[in-house]
Amino acid sequence: MDKEYLAYKFEDSPEFINTFDELPLWSAPFGLMLLDNIELKPNLTVLDIGSGAGFPLLELAQRLGPTSTCYGLDPWTNANNRVREKIKNYGLKNVNVIDGNSGQIPLEDAFIDLIVSNLGINNFEQPWLVIKECHRVLKPGGKLALTTNLNGHWKEFYKVFEEILREAGHTDLINKLKMHQEHRGSIQSVSELFSNNGFHPARTYEDHFTMKFLNGTAFLNHHFIKLGWLISWKELIPENLQLFVFSRLEENLNALSAEQGLLNFTVPMAFIEGKKL
């Protein structure tokens, strides 16, 4: 069985970012949850941290209209350049893109009314530092609203993964796999992160959606799976075991899809809003 996906390596380039559409497909349910739950008011100054290739930054800027100003902040240079092209092509006048890191936001104190982040918190190396920075740049009473996938994400997939490691007698790798899953937070852990850094957790909303794949082969060869997850899964498994583990993983997922008719992977998600104290 061909395992070409194991050879995948991410290569950042202007050419790559020009065809980068997989992330909006993944982040759209979260972004729509964000847009449905934040309060739209005139004359807002908004910051989107981890704005990536421009979603939901540009959508939010357009929904707010010209009385508001939106900033996108991301360290990914090629993505920021693509957003700037979109801003030009869309004819938007109320959006600015900043090259920078959310752990050291290059804006003055008490400058922003609303900070949003779509799926950013799981990718921040020091989330507490990011929340502190958000507190600094927000005006008194300003709000921080984020969406995140929760612990329990793709539980059906990880159950198959864990069973393979257990059958092979690699209990040490099961522990690593569980730690990998648990880095995704819960409503409680994110709310505590807010409370411990100067925010009153104001509103929360939970939901879920299902990602469907024909079988394990389609899943593991999907470009966004390779881009967003495969590298981290490979890092859990010693190189000399990777071919065995992923071969078994693909086989077992294919067997599960044959039994069920397809693969259904559950994605729990949450909107969490805090108000600066």
Lowest-pLDDT range of 18-22, 204-208, 227-231: 18-22
**What confidence tier does 1 reach under pLDDT thresholds 50, 70, 90?**
low
Judge: domain 4-276, CATH 3.30.342.10.
no
pLDDT tens for residues 6-17?
999 889 998 888
Q: Identify whether the C-beta of residue 165 lies closer than 8 Å to the C-beta of residue 177.
A: yes
**Amino acid of residue 150:** L
pLDDT tens for residues 86-124?
999 999 999 999 999 999 999 999 999 999 999 988 778
What pairs with residue 208 in β-bridges? 268
pTM recorded for the entire structure: 0.92
Lowest-pLDDT range of 23-32, 46-55, 97-106, 262-271: 23-32
Map out the domains of the chain as residue ranges: 4-276
Alpha helices in the chain (DSSP H): 14-17, 22-37, 57-64, 77-90, 127-137, 155-167, 171-182, 187-195, 216-221, 223-225, 231-236, 239-260
Mean pLDDT of the chain: 94
